[in-house]
Amino acid sequence: MADLAGYRRPDKGTQPEYLHPPYASTSKRAPTRPLIVLPHTLSEVTGPMFGADDVRAEDGDLTRQHNSDPLGERIIVSGRVLDENDRPVSNTLVEIWQCNAAGRYRHLNDNHNAPLDPNFTGAGRVLTDKEGRYRFVTIRPGAYPWRNHHNAWRPAHIHLSLFGRAFVTRLVTQMYFPGDPLLPHDPIFNSTADEKARNRLIAGFDWDTTAPEHALGYRFDIVLRGREATPMEK
């Protein structure tokens, strides 16, 4: 069988390192032995495919999953999923989760003394369209404290999980909001050394996404790894 084209490896600094001491939890969980460079075989360049059966219409609107509207500022988060070769990634699954407007997750282990919202679960999933576009309606998540260091607060963020076309294009990331004063102090946001790469995690306020009389819009484009043009040399 002919060798397959693999996926591009990241440029230095554009992805976090496993060990990032300002983020305390990395110290006992980051690998300490050298990673083995894995060739991209058929196993790596394939991956799970999802379809219309995996999402329901209400999964894309986190404000319509209960009997009443959740509290907080309604927002629209939308963007395109592209690969590093600028091609749209269509029909790929995008899953999101987040805390509510008060900064509380609907999760047993979240002990933050802020109210739960009976009308907000904080989970959504959609498939991208032919042009790689996705769109969620949700509420703006709150900031919340965590115990990483004294008076540590996470900037408002939405977690996103994407698959792409291969198991090696899998991406879990977080989207942040423009102008958040907590960003310069957040060890997780700052774990990506390259400033430009880091700042691409901040959504842009976007008039085109903003719906009149309804919700402010934020644009967040996501780039998944792109395929090499030719098979890697052996």
Q: Which residues are designated catalytic?
A: 105, 144, 154, 157, 159
Positions 195 through 214 that interact with another protein (CB under 8 A): 197-198, 200-201
Selected binder of another protein within 77, 126, 168, 215 (CB under 8 A): 168
Phi-psi region at 177: left, alpha or beta (left = phi > 0; alpha = psi -120 to 50): beta
Q: Which of 43, 192, 169 is nearest to 94 (CA)?
A: 169
- Tell me if 225 contacts another protein by CB under 8 A: yes
Positions 17 through 76 that interact with another protein (CB under 8 A): 17-18, 20, 23, 25-33, 35-49, 54
- Tell me if 228 contacts another protein by CB under 8 A: no
Angstrom distance (rounded) from CA 178 to CA 206: 11
To another protein, the closest distance from the beta carbon of 219 in angstroms equals 14
Angstrom distance (rounded) from CA 31 to CA 185: 25
To another protein, the closest distance from the beta carbon of 168 in angstroms equals 5
- Tell me if 110 contacts another protein by CB under 8 A: yes
Angstrom distance (rounded) from CA 153 to CA 148: 9
Positions 7 through 26 that interact with another protein (CB under 8 A): 8-11, 14-18, 20, 23, 25-26
C-alpha 133 chain-centroid distance: 15
Angstrom distance (rounded) from CA 122 to CA 137: 11
Q: Which of 222, 203, 220, 204 is nearest to 82 (CA)?
A: 222
- Tell me if 150 contacts another protein by CB under 8 A: no
Quick one: 206 or 211, whose CB is closer to another protein? 206
To another protein, the closest distance from the beta carbon of 73 in angstroms equals 20
- Assigned token pair, 153: 């607060």
Quick one: 74 or 198, whose CB is closer to another protein? 198
Positions 127 through 146 that interact with another protein (CB under 8 A): none
To another protein, the closest distance from the beta carbon of 208 in angstroms equals 20
- Tell me if 147 contacts another protein by CB under 8 A: no
Distances in whole angstroms, Cα of residue 75 to Cα of each of 6, 38, 150, 185, 211 = 38, 41, 31, 25, 9
